[in-house]
Structure 1
Amino acid sequence: MWGRVFVNPLVTGRVHLLWNRRRLFTMQVKTKEFQSLFTDGLNSIAELFEKNHFELRIAGGAVRDLLSGKRPDDVDFATTATPNEMKGMFQAAGVRMINNKGEKHGTITARIHNENFEVTTLRVDIQTDGRHAEVEFTTDWKKDAERRDLTINSMFFGLDGTLYDYFNGYEDLKNCKVRFVGSPVARIQEDYLRILRYFRFYGRVAGQAGQHELETLQAIRENAQGLASISGERIWVELKKTLVGNHAAHLVELMYELGMAQYMGLPVEGNVAELMRVWQQAHGWSPKPMTILSALFRSSAEVDRLDLRLKISREEKNLGLFLVKHRRELVKSEDEPDSIKPFTDFIIDCRETDAQSKMCELLKYQGEERLLGRMQTWDIPRFPVSGHDLRRMGITSGKEIGLILQNLRDVWKDSRYQMDKEELLNNVVRS
């Protein structure tokens, strides 16, 4: 049975489409992004697999990127060869293998021509518990595609440029749709983290907010409690990517509506309205994930509870605490609304190495685009006076030196950091 011929406007090149009797959708594309993958290393790996009569295809996210006209940063490969067959093949050819810890999952990493190639044997799930899967190897490409989460992630590219699509992933990608492979309930219950992967990819692929399939939302609602069994680190990886993607405010609101928040470490009574306001004004300025998420928190205690659940980094936690503490009290001057002086004075006084970076995130949170631009280009001035300068003037008391330095620092700030050492020390003499 033959299908209609069409060309994806995001992809240029030679295209041929057909449906075979197994409803496998194929299409051949030779774009510059695809051809750029063929380094000496990949050509050598491809030749080795062909010589040993094993099939090798590009898998997963790299396929999605190529179909979107992007050159993927990382490329994963799938093969009909078992790990033992790959090891024997690589050893016979003198190809070095690294990262053996992936072997139990079917992955062998070969290094050739100073490049790493991660190749995984086709697999089927035998048993799953919502977090981990017991797998066995197969040579059936469709069965491997069937165990993947989303249709847009279940496609393969042959090394000749042929796309192999068993679950309408290409059509979904063209139409900016995010769907689970087969039954949403079945895919979610195999690994509950897939709920968050759905959200993350919706923010990457979907053209508009709110265009979810009701069956998908119901499956998520019924299985939201499964997120309680997922490690905080895995949740945080997906949540961060969602927060910096498209439709982040809509997606966080949906997490609350579907009963997910309590299992993710988010505050039960999170300030969703505030998050929507902050995201609406800040998302175009590349805010950090915590800058957006901190809008949910009503107190520093909620930042602490998030850290306990998700094991966020110290830097991320400190930023959250900083924003919650200063978002209301550290604001622009009513007398000089175009001045960044209140913010620069704070940086000068706190003397933390990352104070300017935190201040930029605060200004994003507050929606202060003009002040943000000035803060991003501001060079922190160096206070020109030291205790050694005062000792040379005959002042020896440590307490007195401290008081004088603080007074001089205030005078220097009032001068907009323009007074030099001599002017400041003259101030000491006159006093």
Structure 2
Amino acid sequence: MEKIEPKTIKIDNEDFRALFTPELLKLRDLFAKRNYEIRIAGGAVRDLLMNIRPADVDFASTATPTQMKEMFEEEKIRMLHKRGEEHGTITCRIDDKENFEITTLRVDIVCDGRRAQVEYTTNWQLDANRRDLTINSLFLDLHGNVVDYFDGIRDIETRRIAFVGSARQRIQEDYLRILRYFRFFGRIANSPEHEADTIQAIIENKDGMAGISAERIWTELKKIVVGRMADEVVKAMIEQCQLQKYLGLPEECNLDRFHKVYTRYPKDVEPMTMVACLCEHEDQIAEFHRITKLSNDERLLGEFILHERQAAIENFDNDDWWIDRIVDLEVRPGHENQPTRLRQRLIQLARSVLADEDRIQKIQDFEAPKFPISGRELMGAGVGRGPKVRNVLFHLYELWKKSRFTESMESLLEHARDPDIPDISKEGKMKGKR
């Protein structure tokens, strides 16, 4: 690779100075003592240039993992055995107060589109060249000098999102970079317009996304769908690049509903709420789960929204319907005993149908009544044991609900031997799709 003379600028702002804890100063002196270079790398440098205090700070060094371990052992500094050492990352804890992750400079030797075989180097340019985007290829030494080989400083200033070098090559090294491109575009760009060559490179290489693990896809996508400019970014992913198949999304996504919900609630929706906005049928959530391997809670939220959305639209201003949903979710016999989480599911449903703040507040403030009967009272009344108790319990629950929660235990027990009690095992799917 042709040697590039890096551009440099000086940072000396409050966010940068705030990083310099006594522990970081000690780390800096340790590396300097042994003539190893150490710099802040990647996202933290980008954030500092955008006047954002970084939440996480990663470090890069010319020291190899072996050299770092020898140094920390000699200085009696504890090392934490985290995943990443096989990739050249050592984590140390200074004075039992602060952790630091330091990764040896690397060059990608062989890439298969998912992971790279690496070789250590002391060449900062080579390490910068293996990174995905120009805005993430910056280094910052611990004296405040930003080192920029690929015009990342300029791209931050102009809010341009560009791959380092060839977009096609960077994508083929790791196809997840397609989603990283869109995530950072949403975070940083000032215009919804993408560079034509970048979009073309994504289209040409999108089939490679089929080999990316479900966890990696969802980690990126969940940030995109609730991130800045989410509606514009998702529109480009779907309409321009046709990435649905690789994300587990339906071929026909409802971008209009996604736009309306995101515009109304840009900060108060969960990722699965926004995914559900793109879908029309519950089986589409099942397909999305197959691709992304959702958590149980995420899957249930998506299913709940799809199951209840049409009824929520039809009962938009019906207070009783919303109250019944709360009671079904939190009070109905056999519920999950997670009232806070279940209430949040209903709030997400309300937002997905563009409910106003008054409706949301009513859902949040409503105090669910207590159903006055349990299986113990029924058995005490001589109902018996087994499935019959459950059938009677649900029958009485429905009667209690119809009374708008006013029937007492005594009056309900009078119906424990009604002749027409339904067998709930034949109902099919549970009401409320908990």
What TM-score do you get using the length of structure 1 for normalisation?
A: 0.85
Q: Is the aligned partner of 1:424 residue 2:408?
A: yes
What percent identity do the matched residue pairs reach? 41
Listed as ranges, the matches of 1:95-134 within 5 Å are 95-99=77-81, 101-114=83-96, 115-134=98-117
Q: Is the aligned partner of 1:293 residue 2:293?
A: no
Residue by residue over 1:191-213, the C-alpha shift from the partner in whole angstroms, topping out at 9 and shown as x without a partner, is 111000001111111223x2211
Could you list the runs of 5+ residues in structure 2 that have no partner in the other structure? Answer: 416-434
8 A Cα contact 1:333 1:342, kept in partner: no
Question: How far apart are residue 118 of structure 1 and its match?
Answer: 0.7
Aligned to 1:221: 203
d(CA) in 1 for partners of 2:77, 2:390: 67
Residue by residue over 1:263-314, the C-alpha shift from the partner in whole angstroms, topping out at 9 and shown as x without a partner, is 2222223333333333333334x21111101122232222222222221111
Aligned to 2:355: 368
Given candidates 295, 300, 308, the residue that maps to 1:313 is: 295
Aligned to 2:427: none
Aligned to 1:82: 64
Aligned to 2:12: 30
d(CA) in 2 for partners of 1:301, 1:333: 24
d(CA) in 1 for partners of 2:78, 2:317: 67
Aligned to 1:263: 246
Letter in 2 for 1:368: A
> Is 162-171 or 341-350 further displaced after alignment?
341-350
Q: Is the aligned partner of 1:377 residue 2:365?
A: yes
Q: Is the aligned partner of 1:70 residue 2:41?
A: no
d(CA) in 2 for partners of 1:225, 1:411: 55
8 A Cα contact 2:4 2:125, kept in partner: no
8 A Cα contact 1:412 1:424, kept in partner: no
Question: How far apart are residue 252 of structure 1 and its match?
Answer: 2.1
8 A Cα contact 1:332 1:340, kept in partner: no
| RMSD value, Cα | 2.7
Given candidates 213, 224, 232, the residue that maps to 1:242 is: 224
Go from structure 1 to structure 2 and tell me whether the alpha carbon gap of 1:325 and 1:230 turns closer, same or farther (over 3 Å shift).
same
Aligned to 2:154: 171
SS of 1:327's partner is helix
Question: How far apart are residue 80 of structure 1 and its match?
Answer: 1.1
d(CA) in 2 for partners of 1:313, 1:334: 29
8 A Cα contact 2:16 2:48, kept in partner: yes
Question: How far apart are residue 172 of structure 1 and its match?
Answer: 1.8
8 A Cα contact 2:399 2:412, kept in partner: no
8 A Cα contact 2:316 2:355, kept in partner: no
Could you list the runs of 5+ residues in structure 1 that have no partner in the other structure? Answer: 1-20
What TM-score do you get using the length of structure 2 for normalisation?
A: 0.84
8 A Cα contact 2:250 2:284, kept in partner: yes
Aligned to 1:283: 266
Go from structure 1 to structure 2 and tell me whether the alpha carbon gap of 1:205 and 1:410 turns closer, same or farther (over 3 Å shift).
farther
8 A Cα contact 1:331 1:342, kept in partner: no
Question: How far apart are residue 391 of structure 1 and its match?
Answer: 7.1
Question: How far apart are residue 380 of structure 1 and its match?
Answer: 3.4
d(CA) in 2 for partners of 1:230, 1:81: 31
d(CA) in 1 for partners of 2:301, 2:360: 17
SS of 1:328's partner is helix
SS of 2:99's partner is strand
> Is 260-269 or 403-412 further displaced after alignment?
403-412
Given candidates 382, 392, 404, the residue that maps to 1:396 is: 382
> Is 264-273 or 380-389 further displaced after alignment?
380-389
